[in-house]
Structure 1
Amino acid sequence: MAAEICTSCYRNGIAVSNAHAPIGVMDDHMHEKGKWMLSYRYSHMDMDGNRIGTRGVTPEEIATTTPNRFASVMGQPPTLRVVPTEMSMQMHMFGAMYGLNDDVTLMAMANYTKKSMDHITFAGGMGTTELGRFETNTQGWGDTKLGALIRLYDDAIHHVHLNAGLSLPTGSIDEEDEVLTPMGMRPSIRLPYAMQLGSGTYDFLPGLTYSGNVKNFGWGAQYTSEIRLEGENSEGYALGDKHALTAWGSYGWADWISTSLRLTGTTQSDIDGVDSSIIAPVQTANPDNYGGKTLELGLGVNLLGTQGVLKGQRFGIEATAPLYRDLNGPQMETDFRIQAGWQYAF
């Protein structure tokens, strides 16, 4: 099918802001043959507290009642004596898109990630006496994503395309840092899975995107997934497959500004396998304590340059917060996420 011009994406020949999805939605639109788009996104996520299923739990409850997977290993306590309390993740994402022809757009994305996690260490093998607190940190380049967007349908209002991508295992999976053990020692060890920078596997990234736009109203939906193509990485495990469905609506207050509301449901399975170098009395060292189901609400703003030096540039920001969490736990819970970005099409 030959591509048709999205007449509702323009007013008096100028692009309108509500033709775009919220900035937190990746690969939501295509580009004409020979056209480029460069992008930068910054994402900040905060996690605070822990949850088992849908129930919040305290560090003291985890430390005294949750069995340690590695209790049979010499020197390991019977319960989890180290408990994470807060985590933050900052990500810088650099992207490029190119219209191979009017029906196929190529994309590439690299990211630089910084993670930090705060912990409480409880003294000895039992009780709730706090021995101390410590923080672990990692940073570096994550996995690299390559892909294509393939047009399936396009008219003046409705647009549908297929997302097909591949994630390359360029992120480190052997990061180490110093920790505080229940016996008061401070060794440098292999950090748990949540603090690593990549998956270690080649991952297939299929998806499907629909969007619509009429006058001041925009809307859309997108399904995305991460499917591990290998049974295990070089360290003996594979992250769980992930599936996400998001839907949004937007309203353009003017050609240059729109606001949006978005719902996102995500499900992810736990980790398959185990890294034999990750052994610690902390929940993040247990592959079973990953994945679950979440529902998040996002509020966003899009700003679109329509003339002068800003023409072709888009600025967006979106804040999301959880509505529902059912986690394979104990597991840290997301408190909020903010994403801001810039895009330049030419």
Structure 2
Amino acid sequence: MTVTKLGSAFALPLALCAIPAAAQDNSSEEIAVTALRPDAHGPAGTMADHVHKQGDWMFGLMAMHESYGGANRAGTTDLTPAQVAAAGYSVRDSAMTMDMAMLHVMYAPNDRVTLMLVPSWMRMGMTMEGLPAMAGGMASGHGGHTLMPGQTMAHSVQGLGDTQFGALVSLSRRPELSVHAGLMVSAPTGSVSRRNASGSYVHYMMQGGSGTWDLNPSFTLHGANRRFGWGAQVAYLFRVEDANKSGFRFGDRFTATAWASKPVTGNLSLSSRIAFSREGTIQGHYNGAHGHASPPDLQGNYGGTRIDAGLGANLIVAKRVRLGLEAALPVLQDLNGIQLPRKFSGNLSASLMF
């Protein structure tokens, strides 16, 4: 990726804010900085981004969608099917989707602490494609099926994901600058024992959860004036256990994000966001029968570095009902091993506070 492309991505928040600001140069309209302003919460793709006052409850629903496709990639280089076959695989993943729904329950027993509970549900779908046979013949079996070169097969799994719970602790509660630290615990309520019809384990990424107890500390800044808002957050997902009951553990993940927002009216704001993540490879190994025919069957083909750029909007439809929408595209994907790159991600949120 060129320096120009990366620089353009980081300029996106400023550009988004400049457009509405220019349209209002001849207007003295300003939006008061309050907790009920539409950009008092972060964009729809952010989590643990805000706190509440004593006695407040919030119930929210967040839907996330990610789609992957195109050529498989090693690092930042796209590979042809023949190159994937030459790496020792007879099947490749040609398309994948991941959908997650999360229920957010938040309660503030006092002005300093906000408690959170986040159960989740997940669905993953994947399409596999037989690769050119390097020594003639047909592709090897996959999940109990035999795929000829170029032939495709789709499969999916769904069910409960992991459940997060924890607390956000306020360090500053001024509307102009809110600062809080968070510590979430992820309980392994999602399955890591799913198997194909043949009895072998599914791809690691198609298990419902991590199978390990995980810690996710975070630190969030959120500021605003009467014309603009902004925010930044860093977080680290730490896998506490060495392995789950199926014999492996996902890699740790560091994330950092920053956003800028512009309230257009008292009920509507626009936002832009840059998100960075770096995740390690899977450690350990399935402790039962599993395939090695495709890249997602091997632990080294997970994790890497990503940068995504997103645009979003927050809308207040009633005094205490808030909607959020955000869409993001990848700017950089430097992937470990051989993987299918992400093409698009989107988030939709709805919350009620009382």
TM-score with structure 1 setting the length: 0.87
Rounded to whole Å, the distance in 2 between the matches of 1:59 and 1:101 is 57
SS in 2 for 1:61: helix
SS in 2 for 1:62: helix
Q: State the Cα distance separating 1:280 from its structure 2 match.
A: 2.4
**Which residue, out of 262, 269, 286, partners 1:251?**
262
Cα deviations by residue, 1:121-173 (Å, 9 ceiling, x for unpaired) = 23756358616211121100000000100011232411110010100000001
* Runs of 4+ deviating beyond 4 Å: none
Aligned CA RMSD, in angstroms, stands at 1.7
2:346 is the alignment partner of 1:327 = no
Rounded to whole Å, the distance in 2 between the matches of 1:123 and 1:327 is 23
- Cross-structure match for 1:113: 122
Q: Is the 8 A contact 1:143 1:167 kept in 2?
A: yes
2:277 is the alignment partner of 1:269 = no
Q: Is the 8 A contact 2:36 2:319 kept in 1?
A: no
Q: Which amino acid aligns with 1:106?
A: L
Q: State the Cα distance separating 1:44 from its structure 2 match.
A: 1.1
- Cross-structure match for 1:134: 153
Q: Is the 8 A contact 1:85 1:120 kept in 2?
A: yes
2:328 is the alignment partner of 1:304 = no
Rounded to whole Å, the distance in 1 between the matches of 2:267 and 2:129 is 48
Rounded to whole Å, the distance in 2 between the matches of 1:105 and 1:239 is 29
Q: State the Cα distance separating 1:188 from its structure 2 match.
A: 4.8
Cα deviations by residue, 1:274-329 (Å, 9 ceiling, x for unpaired) = 11322321111110111100100010010013xxxx22010010001100010002
- Cross-structure match for 1:216: 227
- Cross-structure match for 2:180: 161
Rounded to whole Å, the distance in 2 between the matches of 1:15 and 1:282 is 49
Q: Is the 8 A contact 2:81 2:131 kept in 1?
A: no
> Quick one: percent identity of the two aligned structures?
34
2:346 is the alignment partner of 1:338 = yes
- Cross-structure match for 1:196: 207
- Cross-structure match for 1:9: 33
Cα deviations by residue, 1:207-239 (Å, 9 ceiling, x for unpaired) = 100000111210010011210000111111110
2:104 is the alignment partner of 1:85 = no
SS in 1 for 2:196: strand
SS in 2 for 1:177: coil
Point out the more displaced range, 247-256 or 275-284. Answer: 275-284
Contiguous gaps of at least 5 residues in structure 2: 1-30, 140-147
Q: Is the 8 A contact 1:8 1:213 kept in 2?
A: no
Q: Is the 8 A contact 2:59 2:353 kept in 1?
A: yes
TM-score with structure 2 setting the length: 0.85
Q: Higher strand fraction: Structure 1 or Structure 2?
A: 1
- Cross-structure match for 1:76: none
Q: Which amino acid aligns with 1:339?
A: N
SS in 2 for 1:170: coil
Q: Which amino acid aligns with 1:97?
A: M
Query: How many residue pairs are counted as aligned between the two chains?
Result: 312
Q: Which amino acid aligns with 2:254?
A: H
Q: Is the 8 A contact 1:249 1:261 kept in 2?
A: yes
Q: Which amino acid aligns with 2:155?
A: T
2:302 is the alignment partner of 1:294 = no
SS in 1 for 2:119: strand
Rounded to whole Å, the distance in 2 between the matches of 1:28 and 1:206 is 12
Q: State the Cα distance separating 1:42 from its structure 2 match.
A: 1.1
Q: Is the 8 A contact 2:91 2:293 kept in 1?
A: yes
2:27 is the alignment partner of 1:43 = no
Rounded to whole Å, the distance in 1 between the matches of 2:252 and 2:73 is 21
Rounded to whole Å, the distance in 1 between the matches of 2:236 and 2:89 is 32
Q: State the Cα distance separating 1:267 from its structure 2 match.
A: 0.2
Rounded to whole Å, the distance in 2 between the matches of 1:303 and 1:8 is 16
Q: Is the 8 A contact 1:8 1:157 kept in 2?
A: no
- Cross-structure match for 1:58: 80
2:165 is the alignment partner of 1:146 = yes
Does the C-alpha gap of structure 1 residues 131 and 336 become closer, same or farther in structure 2, counting only changes over 3 Å? closer
